[in-house]
Each structure stands twice: as C-alpha cells, then as structure tokens.
Structure 1
Amino acid sequence: MHDDDLPERAAGWTSVTSAKRDIIAGGIVVAAILMFIGTGGAVIPSVIGFIGGTGANADHVLTTALILNIALLLFGWRRYADLSREVRERVVAEALAQRLAASDTLTGLPNRRSFLDRAATLIDKADKRGRSVAVLVLDLDHFKTVNDVNGHAIGDAVLCAAARLISEVMPADSVTARLGGDEFACAMPFDAAAPEAVDIVAEGIVARFARPVEAGGVQTHVSISVGVARIENDCSTVDALIRRADIAMYVSKNQGRGRYNWFDGSMERELQTRNAIELGIRNGIPRGEFVPYYEQQIDLTSGRLHGFEMLARWNHPTKGLVPPDIFIPIAEEAGMIGALSLAVMRQAFVEARNWDPTLTLSVNISPTQLKDPWLAQKIVKLLVETGFPPQRLEVEITESSLFENLGLAQSIVGSLKNQGIRIALDDFGTGYSSLAHLRALPFDRIKIDRSFVSSINDNSESAAIVNAIAKLGESLNLPITAEGIEDEMIGERLRALGCNEGQGWHFGRPMEITEVRSLLAGKGLLPSARATDPSAEPAAPPPVAEDRTRLAG
C-alpha cells in the first residue's frame, strides 16, 4: 500500500464506522418510537391522573418504561442533530479537500493534475466548435538567483506575483496552472486560421516580465522563457502538447532566455540527437573512445618547439573523429565532463612524461571546474598517479570562469602554484575585467584569443588590441602566446609586436599521438625508449571521476 493511499483508506474506515453508528442510532430511535406507541396510550392517562390526584396509582414498571422511552427519543433527536451537523461539516471538508487536491497551495492556481483535466475538457469543447488549442509552458529565468539573494520568502512572493501576471495576460477562456517550481502552463483556444492570437499572448507575457516584478516589498528582475505547441494530427493529447511546449521552452532558454518559440519537428530531432550523443559519451568514456590530440606551441623567435596544448577528440566507433564543439557542451550539461577530461588528461600525462624535459603540456579547465574547491587536489593526484612532472604542466583558465567566485579561483590557483604548476590566462581580451584578474591572480602567461590574432592584418582594431596586450605583457613581465596563427604574415606581425610564442594551423593541425611521436623522434626529443614502445609503459590507474575539465580546440 502506498503512502498516498493512507488518507483515502483512513477516510474509508471513518465512513464505515460512522455508518455503523448511524444504523445503531436509527435502530434505537425506531425502537423507542414503537415502544412509545405501545406503552404511551396506556400509561400516560394514569400518570396524568396520579399527578392531578384524580386517578389510582400508576403502574411503576410501565411508568419507568415510559420515562426510558422518552429518554431514548431525546437521545435519538440529539443524535439526529449531531448527524445533521456532521453531514454539513463533511460536505464542507470534502469540498475543501477537492479544492486543495486540484490547486497549488502557494499560488492558488490549478496544479498539474487539475491542468491535465481542465485542458482536456478545453480541447474537447474547442474541437466541437471547430477551434484549436495551444499550450504554453513558461519558466522563470534565473529564479534560483532570486531565492539565493533574497531568500525563499521573497521567492515565494515572486511566484505568486508571476502567477497573477500570467493570469492577467491570458484570455478569459484559458486555463493557467503551476506545474511545479518556477514552471507554469497555460492552455488557450484560438482560431486555427489565426495563430497570431497566440503570438500576441506569448509576446505580452514576455514583455511584461522584461520589466521589474514587485514582490514582498522587493523589486526583482526575472525574465521568462516560453514554449508554445498547438494541436496537430500527431499531437492531440495534453501530455503530448506539454512535452512539445517544454522542448520549445528550452530552445528559448538556449537562445538567450526572455523569449518564446513555437515547437517544430526539428527541435525534437535535435533533442533526440543530443540524447544519442549523451548516451554515446556515457558509454564511450569507459571504452577509451576519447583521446588526446596535440597542437604545437612554437617559439616565434627561434622556431623551436616549446610544447603542446592538449585537445580532446572523440574517436567514435561508427562516426569517426568527432570535434569537441559537438560533445564538450553536452558532456558539461550532463555532468560527465570530469570523467571525460580526466580520462584524456591521464593518457596525455602518461605519454608526455617520456618527452624531452624541456617540452611543456597545456590543458584547459572549464568554468564549472573552478567551482570545485577540491580541483587542485584532483589535478595533483592525477600527476602523482601518472608520474608527470608538475613543473612541465600549464593550466589554462578562461576569463569567463573567474566571474562567479574569484575568491575560490584564487584558492585553487594558489594551490596549483604551490605544486609548481604554471597558470595561463586564456582568451585574454574577450572578458570584462582582464586587468583586475591580472592583479588578483598570479598568472605566468597571457594567451591572446584567436579572434584577434587571425584578423590582425585585416582589422585595425584587432591589431591595436594585440599590440596593447603585447605591451601590457611586457610591462608586467608576462610572456605572451598568440593563438590562431594561420600564415607566416601573421607570425611576422606578431614577432614585430613582441609576442614570443604562438600556435595555430600555420605550424600544423592538431596531431594524434603517433604523429607526435614521429615529430619528436625526428627532432631528437624522445630520450626515453618507452615513447616508441607502448608495451613498456606501465598501466595507468583508473581515472578519477569527480573532476570537470574543459578540453577545447
């Protein structure tokens, strides 16, 4: 028996007990009436005469029976009054219970179960009248921030205000409900030949939430993302409409929030593709399908190979090599980027420990990884397990990853620096507070984003930015690495500006491990025989699955 069934079972037992009491009370009243009829005619005149002094003594037994009979009648009447009151209270309680079961206790709107019933009724009525029905799924943007900043009391007030604002915009013949959390749903009938009526409503809701929302005496800013689905030949149930509208709503989220989208078939296909990729990642990590690729980092003055940046590639068993811009975002969303990145880093560390000691290895860490206070310990643990020297490792951090919690980032960077690991600020110039970050964190290198480097000879603004960054690095005594060098002309311009290191397709595309071995062997940078004999390498321990490292390129 489920816990949800207990109230219903208890109510059933109470009803049965009450019914038994009603039957007993009714039987007593009927018996009392029959007794009164049988004894009252004979006893009452003699009792009255005895009291008045005109009659003989009354029969004591019959008099006693009459008194008991009257008591039973009074008891029956009292019980009748109690039962009447109980019935009235029960009717009120059942009405309240039904209302609570169908309503959201916070906002007073219908809940999910009630919405399913009411929307289904709305669809039936609309179908009989030759009209269509659209379902809107609405989700408040960044509502968690409202709770974190203002507390849950204000968050609840915002939800109540949102319910009121949505209801005010929706037509009178529509149904509005709270599905749960900060998610709402609406169903509205409309003329199938004029879907713009739905557009007007959706635009009105989005526009209203673009303005501040007053709740609990606090002015909050929450936009809203909306997805819309309409009845189609293959979609006519409320559940199907909610699912499609929900898919469209998440498309609105991904497009920047604070907007609405109609569902179309491509969205579902994209969702299926995404789910297939997620499943492939989940299965591919333990199978070793994710492998490191290496991009050369060159000293622009001498042309000497300085080291490599490690990139991740998915060697899919049927689709071949999958680029990181396809699987990295999904791995991050699904919470698998840690296991993936550590598996790839482990392979790279085991390989790179056999290279010439002058060669470095650079790896990227993601913004989500910098939220983990144990990040430094996880990286150091991996270095110890693989035997890769920390002095040859350079960890690259993007500016965007520093915005949320600079204090935690300082702690992580400090721990890594204490182990001899170098830190580079990646994609410099694309953030909003670069100079502040350079002062707050002990960086060892600045990397200029490829968007500036690749257009340095064609765009004066890009050239000015690269020149300013180069001079800044010189004044701070920080070496500069330029990404995205595509030809020799860009390399010459960078050398003239003082950039001392670069990487890009001009020096070669990212390489797999066998190509790297051939390159290093040709340059005499493989002092260990183990580099050309994989069977001589010790087996690596299993990867740590907690880390979340972003590998891009």
Structure 2
Amino acid sequence: MTAMPRPRDRSEGAKRDIVAGGIVVAAILLFVGTGSNVMQSVIRSLIGIGGGPDNVLTSMLILNIALILFGWRRYEDLNREIVERTEAEQRARYLADTDPLTGFLNRRALMANGQQLIVDAALEKRQVALFLLDLDHFKTVNDIHGHAAGDRVLQVAAERITAVLPPSATKARLGGDEFVAMLPFEPAARDHIEALAAQLVAALEEPIFHGAQQIRTGASLGVALASEAGITMETIVRQADIAMYHCKDEGRNRFCWFEPGMEMAVQVRNQIETGIRSGMPRGEFVPHFEPQVDIASGRLLGFEMLMRWESPEYGMIPPERFIPVAEESGLIGELSLQVIGRAMEIAKGWDPSIMLAVNISPQQLKDPWFSQKLTKLLVETGFPASQLEVEITESSLFENLPLVRSIVTSLKNQGVSLSLDDFGTGYSSLSHLRALPFDRIKIDRSFVAAMRGSPDAQAIVVAIVRLGESLSMPITAEGVEDEATAIELTRLGCAKGQGWYYGRAASATDTTALLAERGLMRAPVVPEGAPTPDEAPLRKSA
C-alpha cells in the first residue's frame, strides 16, 4: 500500500528561510570584514611589499563567497516559490468561484459578490436589476440530442448573454439551465434595462448549431429590482425566479418584471399542488363526460372524458386551474391514469356503440411505458379497447416524434382509436398525418367559434375538412354552441361534433341516466343458471 505523502508544514519552511537568511547576513558581514584584509594582502604581495594573504583569512573569504552564492540561490528559490504559490491560490480561487462550463460565476460567488454590489449601488444612489433567465425546453434538448448538445447550448447561451450585456455586468450560472446577470443603473434608465432584457430573449431565440443538428430553445426571463441596501440576495433571486415562472405561464420566450401579486400566485400554485397530492389518494378527481354526436342526425356517438376536481375545501375546480400545475409538478401521469381508470369502470356499462375519448397530456407521451400502462388499465377494468379513443394534441408530435410514433403504434395494435386533437393550432405537417396511424382529426374550438364572423376561420375549417376527406380521416368539430354552426358544419361535410349545443360535460350519474333513457346501456350479464329478472318474482312466490 502506497503511503500518502506528508503535507508540507509551512511553518517549518519559514523557520528554514529565517535561518538561511541569518546565515547569508552573517556571511556578508564576514565578507566585508575579511575581504578587505585579504585584498590588501593580495595587492601588497603583487607590488612586492608583503608575504601574501593569510591562508586562514583566504579560506574564510572563499567560505563567505560560497555562503553568499548559497543565499542568492535560496533567494531565487523563494521568489519562484512565491510566484508559484500565488498562481496556485489564484487558480484555486478561480475554480472555487467559477462555473467551469461557461466561465461565469457560480451560485456561491454570485451570492457574495451580488450582495456587495447591491450595497455599493445603494451608496451611489443607484439601483440594481437582477435578470434570472431559464432556457425553455432545455430538458428536451438533453433527452433528444444528448448531453454534449446540452453543454453546447449552455456555452452558446453564455456567449450570447456576454455579447448583449455590458462588460460591467455580473454574470453567473446558478446551475442547470438557469443564468443570472446583475446590472447597476440609474433610476431613470429603466427603459435601458427593459431593452437589454428584450435583446437577451431575442438572442436566445436564435437557433444553435451542434454539428448537423439545429437546436431551438428560447428563454423566459424574470427581472427583479434592488433599490435599497437592505434587500438580500436570497430575496431578489427568489423574486426574479417568481417573475420568470410567470413568464412561462404566460407563454414563454419573454421577460417579466417581478410584481408583488406574483408571489401570491406562487402561494396559490403551491396550495393547488399540495391539494393534488393529498386529493389523489382520497379520490377527489372524477371524470365528467361531454357528448359527441353525429351532426347530421343528432345520434349520440360517444363522450369525451374531462377531468374535474371535487375539492371538499374549494368545491368543484375546473381543469384549467389544476392541470397546468399537475403537468409542471410531474403529477399529471399518475393523476390522468387514475381518472381514466375510473372512466373505464363507468364506461364498460355503456352500449358497445358508444365511444369513450380521453385526452393525453404531452408529458405522458414522454413516458416510454405509457402504452403499457394504458393497456394494463384496459385489462384491469375489462373495458374493450375498441371503444377507447385516445386524443393527442399536435404540439406533442414535435418533442420526440420517434417515441410518440412508438407509443401510438403500440396503442393502435391493441385496437385503440387515435385522434389528432386541437388541429390547426400547432405545426402539424402532412408528413406527420401520413406517418402516424391517426383515425380522426379534431378541429380546434377557436376556429369553429369564429367561423360565422370570420371568413378566414371558415376557410380554415373548410380546408381541414377537405384534408380529412383526402386522407380518409373523419372530422370532429369542437365548440359547437348553436344550431346555425351545426347546420354550417353539416353543409361543409363535418360528420361529428361536440359542444354546449349538444350538452355540457356531466357527471357519471347524469351520463348513466342519459344513456339509460336512450336504451344505450349494456344488458347486465346474468350468470349461467341464475334466474332472470322476470323469473325471480315467480320463483319467490312459488
């Protein structure tokens, strides 16, 4: 076993340096004392006056010269050691304070330097703007293109931040894909800060090239203001972080100033997330069912399942309040499958002609095991796969198309129908429609609602209907709210519709009553040898 090298004791080195210095000083003094006598003897000997220098004095002179040379060598060694030690300390300080990938400050150095920057700016009657910038969809870059591409994106982002901001800006990488910049400015120059924020967002929207790959990310940027020395770095960073997440909620790829009301929104979001986590095991999330009908005849064809939250504290909460929180917190997969399972248990009592349509979150399509999980639900509930229609939004197709293709192909092989939801709002291309085994296209409600007052919206609806006909894909129109819209859709050739005109989403109890009224419930399965409902009273009376 190799012994660990013993660390050098700097105090011992200092003692040796002091001793060496003392010897050199003594040698110089002796040289001055003896050198003059020896040199005089040498000169006298040369001119024939004396017998030459004393041997002892000569030896002492030579020894003094040797000691002086030794001292000079030691002096040179000390100088070199001081330079090396200074460079090592500077290098260690740089590594301790710097993010190695981007060359920016790290979190620890930012918190220390930033606090001093705030104090210094306050003394000069200036303010400090703190930018907290988060790259949009950065995780997808790593998942699809690999971590080398992710590192390249971070490095290019740092270069663009440096190019936009003035040299005096303090720049740091907090970790992951989060960057911070701090800029002191005069209170009257707020417009300049907003212009810099806009330039940063625009610069980071430009594509990044990694080999043959072209990567687009974009950025959400929160801006917080330090206007007094008393504010702490922890507070201003948290405020900028809140503003940044507000940007993401507003659609990403933009900047927002922190406002006090945003903090309340964060607290509400945290309450919702806590409620979701505690409400799932208590069964507070339930399916509601919106009718889907044949537009021409009015015949009931199926229902789209919509999730509702029956909170004992807040009452009925619509999905637009809690679904985004569930997606951000990573709870949407578990929550969605739980409610879909409950919907299948209810729908297996429906007539086989009635379809159940369920929406799938884009987050769920990032799960390679999603098709297996949904198939497991079908087996556990006994619900026929042929009665299930999975609706996928077109925006889901662009994050990882090979994985989505694998999932939808697996579901198709199980007998599940597939529908492309919200068509027209994203960036679907004909190649995707041909490459993926969709059975149906759904026109987004925004086009249907605007159809009567907007020739452009009507033209889009007509184009989608004709596209469906050419691809042999039936069309479902969402958002049908009146008879006139239904008549117009029928004229255009749209076969299936849903919306308030046909009925709002209803609870499981109301939906079952509606189907029973129309005779669209499955006949109960009677075990072999058991009495039928008509026979039971007769046998009992016998």
TM-score interval for Structure 1 and Structure 2 normalised by the shorter chain: 0.7 to 0.9
- Residue number in structure 1 paired with 2:397: 402
- Residue number in structure 1 paired with 2:121: 126
Question: Which amino acid in the other structure matches residue 357 of structure 2?
Answer: S
Among 9, 15, 39, the alignment partner of 1:23 is: 15
1:332 aligns with 2:324: no
Change (3 A) 1:216 1:83: farther
**Does the residue aligned with 1:187 lie in a helix, a strand or coil?**
strand
Sequence identity percentage: 51
Rounded Cα–Cα distance in structure 2 between residues aligned with 1:244 and 1:441: 44
Rounded Cα–Cα distance in structure 2 between residues aligned with 1:153 and 1:498: 51
Among 91, 98, 115, the alignment partner of 1:96 is: 91
Measure how far apart 1:390 and its partner are.
1.1
Rounded Cα–Cα distance in structure 2 between residues aligned with 1:446 and 1:493: 18
Q: Which one is further off, 374-383 or 184-193?
A: 184-193
- Residue number in structure 2 paired with 1:268: 263
Matches within 5 A, 1:381-460: 381-433=376-428, 435-460=430-455
- Residue number in structure 2 paired with 1:243: 238
Among 137, 151, 157, the alignment partner of 2:132 is: 137
Matches within 5 A, 1:148-547: 148=145, 151=149, 154-155=152-153, 157-168=155-166, 172=168, 174-206=169-201, 223-232=218-227, 236-433=231-428, 435-474=430-469, 476-527=471-522
Measure how far apart 1:291 and its partner are.
0.6
Rounded Cα–Cα distance in structure 1 between residues aligned with 2:364 and 2:86: 58
Rounded Cα–Cα distance in structure 2 between residues aligned with 1:219 and 1:301: 47
Contact 1:29 1:72 in 2 (8 A): no
What is the CA deviation profile of residues 27-63 of structure 1, one whole-angstrom value per residue up to 9, with x for unaligned ones?
A: 698799999x9xxx9xxx9xxxxxxxx9xxx99xxxx
Contact 2:157 2:204 in 1 (8 A): no
Measure how far apart 1:167 and its partner are.
4.2
Rounded Cα–Cα distance in structure 2 between residues aligned with 1:212 and 1:302: 50
Measure how far apart 1:354 and its partner are.
1.9
**Does the residue aligned with 2:521 lie in a helix, a strand or coil?**
coil
Structure ranking higher on relative contact order (CA contacts 8 Å, 6+ apart): 1
Rounded Cα–Cα distance in structure 2 between residues aligned with 1:221 and 1:529: 55
Q: CA RMSD in A?
A: 4.5
**Does the residue aligned with 2:415 lie in a helix, a strand or coil?**
coil
**Does the residue aligned with 1:381 lie in a helix, a strand or coil?**
helix
Change (3 A) 1:452 1:21: closer
Change (3 A) 1:499 1:68: same
Change (3 A) 1:178 1:307: closer
Rounded Cα–Cα distance in structure 1 between residues aligned with 2:126 and 2:406: 61
Q: Give the count of matched residue pairs.
A: 509
What is the CA deviation profile of residues 208-255 of structure 1, one whole-angstrom value per residue up to 9, with x for unaligned ones?
A: 556678999999876554322112579712221122122223333444
Contact 2:140 2:399 in 1 (8 A): no
Measure how far apart 1:342 and its partner are.
0.7
Rounded Cα–Cα distance in structure 2 between residues aligned with 1:221 and 1:410: 22
Rounded Cα–Cα distance in structure 2 between residues aligned with 1:214 and 1:447: 35
Rounded Cα–Cα distance in structure 1 between residues aligned with 2:399 and 2:24: 82
What is the CA deviation profile of residues 397-446 of structure 1, one whole-angstrom value per residue up to 9, with x for unaligned ones?
A: 22222233444333322222222222223233434445434422333333
Rounded Cα–Cα distance in structure 2 between residues aligned with 1:181 and 1:210: 18
Rounded Cα–Cα distance in structure 1 between residues aligned with 2:103 and 2:71: 42
Unmatched 5+ stretches in structure 2: 38-50, 57-61, 526-542
